[in-house]
Amino acid sequence: MNVRRSAAVLAAVAVIGAATPAAAAPSPSPSQAFPSALYGGTDPKYDGVWRQSLALLAQDTVGVKPAAKSVQWLVRQQCADGGFASYRPDPTAACDAKTMLDTNATSAAVQALTALGGHDDVTGKAVGWLKSVQNKDGGWGYSPGGASDTNSTSVVIGALAAAGEKPDQVEKGGKSPYDALLKLALPCGGDGDGAFAFQPDKKGQLAANADATAAGVLGSLGKGMVVEPGKKSDATCEKAGTPEQAAANGAGYLTAALTKDDGHLMSALAGAEPQPDYGNTADAVVALAAQGDTAQAEKSVRWLEKNSASWAARSGPAAYAQLIFAAHATGTNPRDFGGADLVKQLGATGPAPQTAGKTKAADETEDSGSDFFGVWWYVGVCLVAGIGIGFLFTGRKKKQQP
């Protein structure tokens, strides 16, 4: 679910000065070393916990038991108050006021560790921290105190649901996360036509955002990153008075957008040439499958099978995880995804797993870190590698401010 990362990357780039071209970014040092338990070989400063969580969750989804040291690395990233930062190079050092905690990273960690089991103390503290930083409108921003956005609010809903909470009962000032999402849903008709916005602009206006819409559909349905196909809905776009209607409206918007561009979404980075958005397309597949719009989801996953290989290879573990989530949501075999074994490719980006399980589809067919590069190298990678994962990363958030 790049879901949560690309929109935040844009926001973060704006914070630190989006005018600087990616070409000006310094190149990473070839001698750079990263924690051996970490998935991926690029600077984890802004997406370490996010990509680790997605990698572990994807492995669990396909019946693979991750390496114990990779799980322990994630656990040790937690701060004493329960929150997670995007990455802590020295987990033995106590978190302090300068530690930039991250609702997206925390929520991803909760979803992964809940799925793996045996970490109730960690996930319980994390959920407690998420509740403590909930905004008065019922939602969450990327960083504590930041304005609520669709992506962050939705990934938190996924974490709450995974941990056994009832998101509609998690309130601040009488407002639940669903109240926040409904305020970010566009009306039917016009360019927005039922989509979700990431956040209101400076004038309070909402603009349709496909990445946020994919996240908003899942959040409105109370779902996390891993979903089963939902029951087909014939709902048409109407005033979003309920989360369910908002999800149906958003799914309709995504279906129209995917149909327009031959089954995939297009990137919209300012100043960049339009190009297929593989990560957001994968997120849209998951959202549509959860909503029950399986016909379009299956068409788009077929497109991903044919076209996403080079993007995933460039983008790394979170990208492979997104594709695995899309495959799972549509009943597609991730071990034969357009001829590629996504499970094997994901595993190759990190420590060897304890066990290599099989998916249902497969059965049926037969710690510490070190120095870091700079923010501009990372932003440059996001721009070059394509939207979708940017997590990032999430990515998901340079200055860690949406």
Residue 144 has pLDDT above 90, yes or no: yes
* Span 323-345, pLDDT tens digits: 999 999 999 999 999 999 999 99
Question: In the block, which residue shows the tokens 């924690």?
Answer: 35
Could you tell me the pLDDT band of residue 75, with boundaries at 50, 70 and 90?
A: very high
Burial class (CB in 10 A: 0-12, 13-18, 19+), 204: exposed
Question: Pick from 383, 320, 382, 380: which is nearest to 349 by CA?
Answer: 320
Residues 136-142: what's their mean pLDDT? 98
The pLDDT score that the predictor gives to residue 374 is 37
* Span 9-49, pLDDT tens digits: 444 433 333 333 333 333 344 445 789 999 999 999 999 99
Burial class (CB in 10 A: 0-12, 13-18, 19+), 75: middle
| Torsion angle in degrees (nearest 10) through CA of 109, 111, 117, 118 | 40
φ, ψ dihedrals at 175, nearest 5°: -110, 135
- Gyration radius (Cα) of the chain, Å: 19
Residue 139 tokens, joined? 């939602």
Question: Pick from 230, 239, 227: which is nearest to 182 by CA?
Answer: 239
* Span 236-263, pLDDT tens digits: 899 999 999 999 999 999 999 999 989 9
The pLDDT score that the predictor gives to residue 360 is 46
152 three-state secondary structure: helix
Residue 8 tokens, joined? 């935040």
Could you tell me the pLDDT band of residue 128, with boundaries at 50, 70 and 90?
A: very high
CA atoms 374, 111, 134, 10: torsion sign: positive
276 three-state secondary structure: strand
The pLDDT score that the predictor gives to residue 103 is 98
Which amino acid, one-letter code, is at 293? D
Question: Pick from 337, 385, 354: which is nearest to 6 by CA?
Answer: 385
Residue 56 has pLDDT above 50, yes or no: yes
The pLDDT score that the predictor gives to residue 165 is 98
Residues 376, 26 contacting (CB under 8 angstroms): yes
79-95-70 Cα angle (round to 5): 45
Residues 370-397: what's their mean pLDDT? 39
Question: Pick from 12, 1, 86, 54: which is nearest to 383 by CA?
Answer: 12
Residue 224 tokens, joined? 């996390």
Residue 52 tokens, joined? 């680790």
- Give the span between the Cα atoms of 23 and 12, in whole angstroms: 18
* Span 198-250, pLDDT tens digits: 999 999 999 999 999 999 999 999 999 999 988 887 778 999 999 999 999 99
Residue 383 has pLDDT above 70, yes or no: no
The pLDDT score that the predictor gives to residue 222 is 98
φ, ψ dihedrals at 84, nearest 5°: -120, 140
Residue 67 tokens, joined? 């390496």
CA atoms 229, 233, 237, 243: torsion sign: negative
